[in-house]
Amino acid sequence: MNGLDEALVDLKQGKVIAYPSEGVWGLGCDPVNEEAVYRLLKLKNRPVSKGLILVGSKLEQMKPYVNINKYKTKLITKWPGPHTWIVPTRTTPFWIRGNYDSVAVRVSNHPIIIEICNKFGGVMVSTSANMKGKKPVTTQQEVEELFEGLSIVEGCLGTLNSPTPIQDIQTDKWIRE
């Protein structure tokens, strides 16, 4: 997988990477590295207050952030897969959850995200590759033009035609369908 080794080094060094996701190109970083998260937010011109998504390859990787035992039955109705849940949290740092007492989480079935998270050893921040208020990009070329100098893991998008749907796990309310 072209770009994977460089991207893994960059993740561990607190840098932002780009990769294909289920429907659009994504930007990611290490969620426990506060500076890396702020670097990503600055790249996108996105306020920290809005919160970010955490994506992983296994349910267990979400344990530091949400009570997976309490919500497991519902989580696995859509996981692994292109579905983001909003789940209450007491352990997720502000720079990830923003102004909320919940966090957006997804266990992906996209092979590149699985590979990144497995080799990284946990979840990463995942947000669409776009500037605040602009349409997410759908090609590697667009990523290269918009975000110069990032490590890019090459590959194909998944089957969605848009970013993943987002749903509140407690109320079933759709945040993004």
Q: Convert the pLDDT of each residue in 101-121 to its tens digit.
A: 999 999 999 999 999 999 999
Per-residue pLDDT of 116-163, as tens digits, reads 999 999 999 999 999 888 999 999 999 999 999 999 999 999 999 999
Q: Which of 1, 176, 169 is nearest to 85 (CA)?
A: 169
Q: Enumerate residues 6+ apart whose C-beta is below 8 A from 141.
A: none
R_g of the chain, CA atoms, integer Å: 15
Per-residue pLDDT of 73-93, as tens digits, reads 999 999 999 999 999 999 999
Q: What percent of the chain has pLDDT over 70?
A: 99
Q: How far is CA 116 from the centre of its chain?
A: 11
Architecture of the domain whose range is 4-176: Alpha-Beta Complex (3.90)
Q: What is the per-residue pLDDT for 35? A: 98
Read off the pTM: 0.96
Residue position matching structure tokens 């007492």: 101
Task: Give burial (CB, 10 Å; 0-12/13-18/19+) of 28.
Answer: buried
Q: What is the per-residue pLDDT for 3? A: 96
